[in-house]
Structure formats: structure tokens, C-alpha cells
Chain A
Amino acid sequence: MSDDKNRVAIVPCSGIGKPFGSVSREAAYEVCENLRPDDTRLVALSKLVLGESTACATVAHCPAITIDGCKLMCAARMVKQSGGTVARELTVLDAYREHRDLKPEGIAELNEAGLKLARVLAEEIAETVAEIGRSKAGKGGSHA
């Protein structure tokens, strides 16, 4: 999946000052840097807000997975407003509801539970990226 058009755009929340926003970004880094670096492209939400051409082109051509920290769902909404397709909307709150023992705390530096929650979320995202890849391959896309 080296061709950019065959990648999945990962768009985390850009919320400032809340642990749930920090978890969304930590999960995005984990996917894009460690779990699926060749299959994903990290897109900064602020670039979509600014209408930056590369970011907008990425979400226009690649399916996106959004990770939101709160109910405002800024990441999902911004991808749609930018003409992109959200393949899956994830929220940190839903992940936390499934893992109550992993309460995220801290903002600049997440606590251990927050980092673990980010890892859980990242693994779910990585699996979704793989599913999207398999689906494209099944439809005769260029992805092997």
C-alpha cells in the first residue's frame, strides 16, 4: 500500500486541554508510526480546517478513520466537510466505556492507563485499516 491513494487517512481530534483528546492523538501516532506505517497517512485536523491542499487531497482520495475525543466530533465532521469519506468514526469515550479500568488522566503526559487505552484504540484502528485493505483487494484494487 505504498501508493498514497491506497492508504487510509487517520484523523485524530485536535482538542486541547483534555486527556481524551490526548488519547486520540496518541492512538493515531501508534497506528501511523508503529502498527500500520505503510498503510496509513496521519492528517492534522487543523490543516483540514485551514483547507491546506495536501491534507484535503488526502481525505478526498483516501478513506478516513476519525478518532474524536468528545461529542463535538470535530474530526469526523471536518473530514466530511472537506469532501472526504469517513470509513469509521471512533470515539475515545466509547473505548473508555468498554475499558473502565483504563481511565485516562494527564494532558501533556498521559498516565499509564491513558497510554494503555490509546494502545487498545490503536489496535482497533489497525484492524480496521487491514479490513479496508482486504476490502479494496477483494474489489480488485491495487492493494495486495
Chain B
Amino acid sequence: MPEYLETTVDKFTFRVATDRLYSPEGVWVFWVQPEGSDRVRIGLTDYLQQHSGDVAFVSVKLPGTKLAAGDELAELETIKMNLSLPAPVSGTVVEVNPALELNPELVNQDPYDKGWLAVLETASWEAERAKLLDPRAYFSVMQSQVEQELKQS
């Protein structure tokens, strides 16, 4: 079980798992096999899933698809918006979460575990990880995003 950084704003509590890295857009990257594989599991952060609303449909790029960082990895349709999710690292899709086809709500219910989106094989995890934020850095980015959202509401 990962530990979390946590902040509560108004009636909302947002968690950031401390065992993985993040893109500023709110996508987490978890190194699946530290023993030498360059595979990473990818999903939405708790903040991004709460901000986006209840997920109705998830469409992830098929296994075998090669992606550069920033390419669209997945499309999510929620009750509030259509969300295009950029790949946080470059690599090839090797696995897509099969549970999301029947239970897309897992993205909302368990964003850091059962609601994962895909596994990517990166060319070099060491090179890719340098582009990502550690949990504390993402936590700060997320707090800024929350504050900005509050000002706009």
C-alpha cells in the first residue's frame, strides 16, 4: 500500500501517492519492475480524476502503439468533459487495463491502483524519469492548480 501526501480544500481531499512520479498534467508513472525492465504503469492522479468528474468511457491506445511523450495515450469521457490524456513518457503500449471496459468508474474509485490505464515499455526509463516530477514537486503543482481553480469559481 502506498503512502500519500494529502491536502483538503473546502470539502475535497486530494491524495498524491509517494511511490511514483508524475507529469504536471496529472498523470502518474509507476516503475513496474525495478529489477531491470523499463516498463511503467500509468494512470490519472486523484486530483485529475476528481477535477474531471465521473468517468463514463475510457479509450486507451492499443497495445503495440508507439508514443512520444505528449502524444495522446487515452481519451476519457466524463460527465463533465472529454479529456485527452498525454503520454507522460515515450514508449510502446504493452498492456491496457482490461477492467476499464466494463468498469470505467475504477478510475474514480481507485485511481492509484485498480484504475490504472496502461503499461508502457520505455526505451530508457532512466532517461524518461528525469522529465517527471517527484511526489512533493507534483504536490506543489497540484496545490497551485487547486488554488487557481478556487479563484475561478
Contacts and interface: CB of A to CB of B under 8 A. Distances in A.
B46 interface: no
B57 A71 contact: no
B131 to A, nearest CB: 33
A18 B56 contact: no
Interface in B38-82: 53-54, 56-57, 79-80
Interface SS, B side: loop
A71 B105 contact: yes
A93 B57 contact: no
Contacts, number: 22
Nearest to A100: B57
B80 A96 contact: no
Interface string B79-122: 11000000000000000000000001100100000000000000
A20 interface: yes
A97 interface: yes
Interface of A: 18-20, 69-71, 93, 96-97, 100
